[in-house]
Amino acid sequence: MAEKKNVDLTEGVIWKQLLRFVWPIIIANVFQRLYDITNSMIVGNYISKDALSAVSACSSISVIANYFFYGVSTACGIMASHYYGAKDKEKLNEVVETSLIIAVICGISFTILAEIFTPALMAFSNVDASIYADAERYLRVYMLGNTFVFLYNITFFILRSIGDSRHPLYYLMISCVINIILGVIFVRYLNMGVIGTAVATIIAQFVVDIFAIRLIFRMKDIFSFDFRKMRINWDFVKRMATLGVPASIQNMLIGFSSMVVQSNVNLFANEVIAGVGVAEKVANWVHVPMMSISTIGTSYVGQNLGAKKYDRVQEGIRFCNIIATIITIILSIGVFWKAEFFISLFNKDLEVIKYGSTMVRYSVWGYIPLTWSHIYNGSCRGAGNVKIPLIIAVMTQCVFRYLFVVIGLRINFDIHVIYLAGVLTYTLAGLFATLYFKTSKWTKEAHLRP
């Protein structure tokens, strides 16, 4: 029965199989975005503008660990998809066992490090004294959930790697509902302040981890686990590190550059901090299709390369790029048009709405070329190439963004420098990723293009 719920991406009509696999991931990412903005919406509507500024001021810090988790989780998914496509049940089993154990170890380690270095990270981010206490309380509690976040990512990537995109959707919906309900209860009725939203998030992720792990252990036709005999395969750990650590470093460097940008944003008034923080969450909705289809592309490439079906690889990448670009353009226009409305959902302050809507209208145009970056880089990772996507992302989204913001603000201390940094960064990332994919000798030899 479990097998019928999985999509074998190595068989069938390509576009039908991709669409069958993509819609649960798109909806899941919609809920993920809703999940991400819930804390800000609850804080902005039920506490105060300053509380919203506090959460926004430390937002780039709170997701640093998530960037690392996402890279390693991607590696686990790539390996699982290869062995699933090759019908190698024994190695697939070992990959999953190793992944789950590593998730727990890394999650606990990051929690300890986060609690130790929170003051230093807060100081680096230039968090203003007026919002420092709320920002620190929120960050310390939020970081306690790192282990649950890592398990959350690992289990979802494992399920998607074997063609099951529906259960991650269902679980994410459950988690989102729990997060909203508990967040409102803790903040509005129990007066727990910003800590209430962080606690709600931890509980919601913990519940979903239980569901996802339970499902994996019950898939007897695909996996065969004995909890008492689970162990780490150190050869697989090395391969996960080879595939995942570069992506994790890439994501963390991008996160670090975001911290640098946020530290400069935090030098402005609280209305600007709140507006920019909300704008990033609103504009990220345009990010949903490219993230979703990139996730599909990675699993799709992995499965079909494992099955040595190279024509399917190339046709699938082409289809993913076309559909992701079309959807992103449509969403960009919609968010640009209704920017004030979306910002007002978080806070009704006119200054917050002004700065936030302006930021949105700059940002969305950078997502169109960023789509190409996600699709092409995701395809390269699915084929085992993590170095070039790392270099492209670091040079454009870290080095260029850092230099543009720091130098730009020294020349002219104006929030428009922050607005421009995003759109220019994403445009360069898309152009360089496309250039590499279309002209590289490696992409041709890896059968990613004709």
Once rounded to an integer, what is the mean pLDDT over residues 426-441?
91
The predicted structure's pLDDT at residue 35: 66
Is the distance from CB of 113 to CB of 273 less than 8 angstroms? no
Tokens (6 digits) for 365: 């145009």
Strands (E), 47-136: none
The predicted structure's pLDDT at residue 389: 81
C-alpha Rg value of the chain to the nearest Å = 21
Q: What is the DSSP letter of 353?
A: H
How many Å apart are CA 420 and CA 135, to the nearest integer? 27
pLDDT of residue 3 exceeding 50, the answer is no
pLDDT of residue 154 exceeding 80, the answer is yes
414-432: pLDDT as tens digits = 888 988 888 899 899 999 9
Q: Provide CB contacts within 8 A for 179, sequence distance 6+.
A: 35, 38, 200, 201, 204
Tokens (6 digits) for 41: 């919406």
Cα→Cα distances 115→85, 142, 143, 382, Å = 41, 10, 7, 34
188-247: pLDDT as tens digits = 888 888 888 889 989 998 998 999 888 888 887 777 766 667 788 888 888 888 777 776
Quick one: what percent of the chain has pLDDT higher than 90?
7
Among candidate residues 153, 138, 169, the one with its CA nearest the CA of residue 27: 169
Tokens (6 digits) for 419: 């607005």
Once rounded to an integer, what is the mean pLDDT over residues 136-162?
85
How many Å apart are CA 290 and CA 26, to the nearest integer? 9
The predicted structure's pLDDT at residue 428: 92
Q: What is the DSSP letter of 385?
A: -
373-398: pLDDT as tens digits = 889 988 887 787 777 887 888 888 88
- Half-sphere exposure (Cβ direction) of 339: Cα atoms closer than 13 Å: 24
Give the DSSP H or E segment for 339: helix 339-344
Burial of 249 (0-12, 13-18, 19+ CB in 10 A): middle
Give the type of residue at 281: K
310: left (phi over 0), alpha (psi -120 to 50) or beta: alpha
261-312: pLDDT as tens digits = 777 888 888 788 888 878 877 877 777 778 778 877 777 787 788 777 888 8
With helix as H, strand as E and coil as C, how does 221-287 read? Answer: CCCCCCHHHCCCCHHHHHHHHHHHHHHHHHHHHHHHHHHHHHHHHCCCCHHHHHHHHHHHHHHHHHH
50-84: pLDDT as tens digits = 777 777 777 767 777 777 777 788 788 878 877 88
Q: CA geometry: angle at 373 spanning 306 and 73, to 5°?
A: 50
Is the distance from CB of 406 to CB of 260 less than 8 angstroms? yes
User: Percent helix, strand and coil across the chain, each rounded to 5?
Assistant: 85, 0, 15
Once rounded to an integer, what is the mean pLDDT over residues 121-137?
81
Burial of 116 (0-12, 13-18, 19+ CB in 10 A): exposed
- Half-sphere exposure (Cβ direction) of 70: Cα atoms closer than 13 Å: 15
The predicted structure's pLDDT at residue 434: 93
Strands (E), 151-233: none
The predicted structure's pLDDT at residue 431: 93
The whole-chain average pLDDT of the chain stands at: 82
pLDDT of residue 435 exceeding 90, the answer is yes
81-105: pLDDT as tens digits = 778 877 777 888 888 888 888 888 9
